[in-house]
Amino acid sequence: MIPGIIKGNIFIGLQPTRGIHENPDKAYHDKKLLPHHQYLAYYKWLREEFKADAIIHVGTHGTLEFLKGKECGMSGECFPDRLVGDMPHIYLYYCGNPAEAMIAKRRSHAVLVGYQPPVFVEGELYGELAEIQALTDEYREAQRASPARCDAILANIKEKAEKNNMDGDLDVLEKELYRIGQSLIPRGLHIFGEAYDEEEAKDYAMAVAGYDRGECKSLRRIMAEEEGIDYDEALKNNDASALKTFDVKAKKSVEEYLSKGLEKGARFAGDFKSSMEYILSMMEKARSNNEMKGLLKVLDGRYLQAKLAGDTIRNPEGLPSGYNLFQFDPRFIPTMTAWERGFEIAENTLAKYKEDQGGYPQSTAVILWGLETSRTQGETVGQILGYLGVRLKKMKNAWEPAYEIIPLKELNRPRIDVVINICGFFRDMFPNIIEELNKIYKEISLLDEGEGSNYFIKNSNRIYEELLKKGYDKIEAEELSRARIFGPGEGEYGTGISKLIETKNWEREEQIGEAYIKSLKHVYSENFRGRESEELFGMNLMAVDIVSQIRSNHEYEVTDLDHYYEYFGGLSKSVEMVKGKKAAIYITDTTGRRIETDRVEKSVEMGVRTRLLNPKWIDGMLEHRYHGVQKISDRFENILGLAATTNKVENWVFSKMHSTYVSDEELRNRMIENNPWAYHKILESLMEYNQRGYWKATQEELLELREEYLKLEGNIEEKL
């Protein structure tokens, strides 16, 4: 039976799985496999014997919408249609996930009732990070008032920075501490139907007001202008000292405004007044929640108003939640803003690679996700165009994007080749972008440019010759030589990598790369859609020097979601296998006020410092019985996936996780009280890190870990 509850004639439940197979993840997304008879029988029982008036699926992301059948326009022969029949289908779905939500709507006739994310708060500094920050503040004050103390304070800062595996350079350290402290983190989990309280609404509104919104200036910009400082220049230079001052003044001004009101002086006028009115409107939205009302409205057979899905900080219009979701029109992608930001991401990544390697890469590999493309209106598409040296022109109308190839003289660097991996959701949602990119590739291949300045032509010529040697005819070889888009086969989703990690069903890292290549070896070119071509995929991977990925969602750091290691990790491992050499991996964070491009090890550290080791994040998760530790445990599994696919998780990360979650007796007891089974899994993950050689644990760490593991195992067995 499907886990769930029955109330009246309404079934409410989690979506069922589809049976046990050799590779569960492939089964979960493989539309060639039929659902087993228990699955079929239960829906039949709901319709014909229980006679359900409605089904409520609690999402996000189940199995019904991935069953065998057409991609759209379901018929009676398609399994989602056969199972749901004429029963009203209501799906509680996360409003920040338009990509997968549209699959549920299109393939299972679902009326979506969107629910909001948990409240986002500033992560703040904690423990020794806070101590280092206090020392840097003391150093800056000593420079002004007591220079003789500076050397001693600076030595103390460097000692503590080294102990905490941070760069001891004061300027770098200050910027790093500022970024960690200002990072937004989700506090706990969202409870369906509950709005933000007064304080949470203020936190949300402040996060939203941290960005310019059209003519409404961000509070930080207003504070900078009052000081006579160029805010854009401060952001560009990452001037942590100035930015921190703006933050403090902005928060103080908001508190003053909320306590005194607008009428208390000229201070609250002009731009500040406009921003505060905007903040108040955002607070009002955040204190509203129509999720339960929306659900009851659908159950009453009434129309539920539609609302655009997306990140509620990027798109504040997403609140209040509780409405039927729709996604951004794919014909509008990329927007001009997305192209500009994507071009900046490409230039940042190339600059970072040049700094590390001393030159330009021959080729980059990029992941195109449907969800990320919807959320950002195409930042990754803009990044691809940036590498290729292509600009988005002003369009005749919103539905016909026009592109222009930038001359090499203006580009002032080589044209970089780009291999694109798409996920199944992107294939389904954005066929227009696949078509446009293939047209652009063809145009670039016909340019009168040499191989020394056009790496796309250079790699295309190499691939063309190889294809001819393998017996391809000239016309087919010509098209495939410029094909750069690869993904899952038609109607397929996923890679199977996350299940390999979850089930521990792997011995060699190469198995992870093999699973990735096997799943994403299908080419999408002008005349081939989903054609299996592992050989061609390998020819393209051979040239890849960089794997680059965008992190665009406040809710997830790269350590929070298995799709990160599954895709950019799986891709990097595939490049390593084919090429015999690791590719550089760069992650660009576009969630902040400043676009930051980091090496993957830095991105992992950010996720660990701002969340997994952060008492504020941990306390928020532990407010939720059972699910809190379960979600923390998922992060431990993701760390293993990142370690296995990138080999870029530093040893100190594992040791810090051990000291936080095992050595701290108080936290250990809270974890056990919340969910002993999930905490048992956390201890297993720590042991697996060591067994697989990613963590070189000390004898003391291993002894403590084994003792706690055996003690907990005994306690669990006693209760069974």
For 648-694, the pLDDT digits (tens) are: 999 999 999 999 999 999 999 999 999 999 999 999 999 999 999 99
Tokens representing 74? 């379901």
Facing residues of 561 across strands? none
Pair 19, 87 in one domain:
yes
pLDDT band at 2 (very low <50, low <70, confident <90, very high): very low
Boundary of a domain, candidates 286, 310, 341: 286
Pair 355, 233 in one domain:
no
- Residue 710 or residue 17, greater confidence: 710
Residue 345 included in any domain: yes
Phi, psi of 549 (to 5 degrees): -145, 145
| pLDDT value of position 66 | 85
In DSSP notation, 66-100 reads GSSS-SSS--TTSHHHHHHTTS-EEEEEETT-HHH
pLDDT band at 444 (very low <50, low <70, confident <90, very high): very high
Pair 636, 568 in one domain:
no
Distance CA 527, CA 471 (A): 19
Pair 102, 172 in one domain:
no
**Residue position matching structure tokens 């799985």:** 17
Mean pLDDT of all residues in 448-455: 95
Residues 299/292, Cβ–Cβ less than 8 Å: no
| pLDDT value of position 266 | 47
Pair 202, 174 in one domain:
no
Tally of domains within the chain: 5
Starting at the edge strand found earlier in the chain, the sheet holding 4-7 runs: 4-7, 10-13, 54-58, 89-94, 110-115
DSSP 8-state assignment for residue 149? G
Residue 307 included in any domain: no
| pLDDT value of position 675 | 96
Residue 299 included in any domain: no
Q: Which long-range contacts (CB under 8 A, 24 or more apart) does 252-261 make?
A: 253/219, 253/223, 254/202, 254/206, 254/219, 254/279, 258/202
Helices (H), ranges, 164-238: 170-182, 198-208, 219-226, 231-236
Element housing 122 (H / E): strand 120-122
Q: Which of 389, 394, 392, 383 is nearest to 410 (CA)?
A: 389
Pair 620, 675 in one domain:
yes
Residue 6, pLDDT above cutoff 70: no
Residue 24, pLDDT above cutoff 50: no
| pLDDT value of position 31 | 61
Q: Please report, to the nearest 10 degrees, the dihedral formed by the alpha carbons of residues 444, 449, 453, 459 taken in order.
A: 60
Pair 467, 593 in one domain:
yes
Percent of the chain predicted with pLDDT > 70: 93
Residue 568 included in any domain: yes
Q: Which of 665, 666, 659, 713 is nearest to 686 (CA)?
A: 659
Residue 157: give the domain boundaries.
124-182
Q: Which of 665, 661, 508, 669 is nearest to 573 (CA)?
A: 508
| pLDDT value of position 35 | 86
Residue 608, pLDDT above cutoff 50: yes
Residue 660 included in any domain: yes
Distance CA 52, CA 84 (A): 11
Residue 290, pLDDT above cutoff 90: yes
Q: Which of 545, 532, 531, 549 is nearest to 578 (CA)?
A: 545
pLDDT band at 168 (very low <50, low <70, confident <90, very high): confident
- Residue type at position 492: E
Residue 324 included in any domain: no
Mean pLDDT of all residues in 158-184: 93
- Residue type at position 46: L
Residues 80/107, Cβ–Cβ less than 8 Å: yes
Phi, psi of 89 (to 5 degrees): -115, 115
Boundary of a domain, candidates 118, 145, 161: 118
Distance CA 309, CA 325 (A): 5
Pair 253, 354 in one domain:
no
Distance CA 84, CA 103 (A): 15
Beta strands 417-422 and 363-368, pairing class: parallel
Question: pTM of the predicted model, to two decimals?
Answer: 0.89
Q: Which of 401, 385, 382 is nearest to 393 (CA)?
A: 401
Q: 400: exposed, middle or buried (C-beta count within 10 Å: 0-12, 13-18, 19+)?
A: exposed
Residue 318, pLDDT above cutoff 70: yes
Residue 268 included in any domain: yes
Angle of helix 534-541 versus helix 570-579 axis, rounded to 10? 80
Pair 139, 224 in one domain:
no
Residue 136 included in any domain: yes
Q: 248: exposed, middle or buried (C-beta count within 10 Å: 0-12, 13-18, 19+)?
A: exposed
Residue 382, pLDDT above cutoff 60: yes
Cβ-based neighbours of 73, under 8 Å, separated by 6 or more: none
Residue 352, pLDDT above cutoff 90: yes
Q: Which of 343, 693, 332 is nearest to 507 (CA)?
A: 693
- Dihedral of alpha carbons 340, 346, 352, 355, sign: negative
Facing residues of 61 across strands? none
Tokens representing 526? 């002008």
Buried/exposed 513-537: b ≥16 CB within 10 Å, e otherwise: bbbbbebbbbbbbeebebbebeebb
Pair 420, 524 in one domain:
yes
Mean pLDDT of all residues in 186-206: 91
- Residue 125 or residue 396, greater confidence: 125
Q: Which of 548, 363, 385 is nearest to 462 (CA)?
A: 363
Pair 152, 223 in one domain:
no
Distance CA 622, CA 187 (A): 10
Residues 557/551, Cβ–Cβ less than 8 Å: yes
Tokens representing 273? 């007044």
Residue 12, pLDDT above cutoff 50: yes
As a whole number, the mean pLDDT across the chain is 90
- Residue 405 or residue 718, greater confidence: 405
Boundary of a domain, candidates 549, 569, 601: 601
Pair 385, 531 in one domain:
yes
Residue 23, pLDDT above cutoff 70: no
